[in-house]
Amino acid sequence: MLARIGAILHSSERSGRGSCRMRGLCVLAAGAILAVSGCARLDEPSRSKPGDRSGTSAPSATTRSASASGQGGASPSGGAVASEASNSPVAGGSPVGGGRGRVEGTAMDRQMAMFGAGCFWGVEAIFRKQDGVIDTAVGYAGGHTADPTYKDICTDQTGHAEVVRVEFDASVVSYETLVDLFFRLHDPTQLNRQGPDIGSQYRSVIFYYTEGQREIAQTVKARRESSGKHRRKIVTVIETAPTFYLAEDYHQQYFAKRGLENTCHVPSED
Please say whether the beta carbons of 138 and 121 come within 8 A.
yes
Give the CA count within 13 Å in the CB-facing half-sphere of 215. 3
- Cα dihedral across residues 264, 134, 88, 75: positive or negative: negative
Minimal CA–CA distance to 163: which of 112, 121, 217, 116? 116
Catalytic residue among 26, 39, 119, 154: 119
CA distance linking residue 24 with residue 254, whole number of Å? 9
Three-class secondary structure of residue 235 per DSSP: coil
Neighbour-count burial for 125-164, b at 16+ CB within 10 Å, e otherwise: bbbbebbbbbbbbbbbbbbeeebbbbebbbeeebbbbbbb
17, 55, 76 from 176: Cα distances, Å: 32, 35, 19
CA distance linking residue 43 with residue 40, whole number of Å? 9
Active site residue 119: yes
DSSP secondary structure code for residue 19 in this structure? H
CA distance linking residue 228 with residue 225, whole number of Å? 7
Query: DSSP of 125-191, one letter per residue?
Result: HHHTTSTTEEEEEEEEES-SSSS--HHHHTTT-S--EEEEEEEEETTTS-HHHHHHHHHHTS-TTST
Catalytically annotated residues: 119
